[in-house]
């Protein structure tokens, strides 16, 4: 009986010693830092045969090292080269003088008579027997400030604004455009409602529609106008000469055509110069 008790005591002592050597608490089993304990301290001798108490040191918290990825450099946007395109997708700029059916014939300031733009048309050219259906495309890049279906006299019409800052200095000087002004380009009498909508951003050579006979047109042709004016104009509707035209339609038409706020000039100053001496022309 005594032998069994001695053996149990020895096993218990061995267990205590092994746990202390591994740095574990016999009560909780949690890991504790291994500390060196002085068996004897001045003024408080340890009774013989007793184990010195283990004083744990404060726990140390180790946080994982997080390596953040280096920020990816922001790519510098590549500027889009300035381009001037033919308004007709199958006819190059150098062909345009050959297919003018009605040239620019400016009226006196504030007058409606005569011709504010230039018309392109033909009955036969190569294998084509009409210009109807030829694609109409944007001469410049810019913002759509009017995309009006079935108006009068312009029919299905688009107007695109190109701001001064987007123009090459040579062209701005040639047209005597002042800083703070825009070029407005109008495309009229298209076959169907415009392919773009008010507020769209368009690129040079982007399709707008097809040549047609809408509005005040008796033969298929593209009527093209260019004007200079203050930036930021916008026309959601425009019309004149019809009994059911609203006051706003008529006001917008007068503002555009005869008020002097938008000064028209011959589009061939841009298109012919570009074909003779290209400024990014197509």
Q: How far apart are CA 154 and CA 146, in angstroms?
A: 12
> Do the Cβ atoms of 86 and 274 come closer than 8 Å?
no
Please, which residues have CB within 8 angstroms of residue 218's CB and are 6 or more apart in sequence?
none
Which CATH number does 93-272 carry? 2.70.70.10
Q: How far apart are CA 21 and CA 26, in angstroms?
A: 11
Q: How far apart are CA 220 and CA 88, in angstroms?
A: 13
> Do the Cβ atoms of 238 and 216 come closer than 8 Å?
no
| pTM greater than 0.75 (yes/no) | no
Q: What is the pLDDT along the chain (282 residues), one digit of tens a residue?
A: 565 665 666 666 666 655 555 444 444 444 444 444 443 444 444 445 455 555 555 555 555 565 666 666 666 666 678 999 999 999 999 999 999 999 999 988 778 888 999 999 999 999 999 999 999 999 999 999 999 999 999 999 999 999 999 999 999 999 999 999 999 999 999 999 999 999 999 999 999 999 999 999 999 999 999 999 999 999 999 999 999 999 999 999 999 999 999 999 999 999 986 655 556 566
The domain ranges of the chain are 93-272
């Amino acid at each position: 009986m005594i032998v069994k008790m001695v053996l149990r005591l020895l096993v218990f002592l061995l267990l205590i010693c092994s746990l202390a050597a591994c740095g574990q608490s016999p009560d909780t089993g949690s890991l504790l830092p291994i500390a060196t304990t002085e068996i004897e301290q001045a003024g408080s001798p340890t009774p013989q045969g007793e184990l010195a108490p283990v004083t744990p040191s404060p726990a140390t918290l180790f946080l994982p090292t997080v390596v953040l990825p280096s920020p990816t450099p922001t790519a510098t946007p590549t500027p889009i080269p300035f381009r001037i395109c033919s308004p007709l997708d199958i006819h190059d700029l150098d062909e345009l003088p050959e297919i003018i059916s009605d040239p620019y014939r400016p009226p006196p300031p504030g007058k409606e008579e005569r011709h504010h733009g230039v018309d392109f048309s033909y009955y036969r050219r190569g294998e084509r027997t009409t210009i109807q259906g030829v694609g109409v495309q944007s001469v410049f890049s810019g913002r759509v400030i009017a995309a009006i279906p079935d108006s009068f006299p312009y029919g299905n019409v688009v107007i695109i604004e190109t701001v001064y800052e987007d123009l090459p200095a040579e062209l701005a000087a040639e047209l005597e455009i002042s800083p703070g002004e825009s070029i407005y380009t109008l495309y009229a009498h298209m076959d169907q409602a415009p392919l773009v909508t008010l507020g769209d951003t368009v690129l040079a050579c982007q399709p707008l529609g097809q040549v047609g006979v809408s509005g005040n047109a008796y033969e298929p042709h593209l009527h093209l106008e260019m004007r200079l004016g203050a930036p930021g104009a916008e026309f959601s509707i425009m019309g004149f000469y019809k009994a059911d035209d609203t006051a706003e339609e008529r006001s917008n038409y007068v503002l555009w055509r005869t008020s002097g706020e938008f000064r028209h000039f011959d589009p061939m100053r841009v298109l012919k110069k570009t074909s003779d001496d290209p400024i990014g022309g197509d």
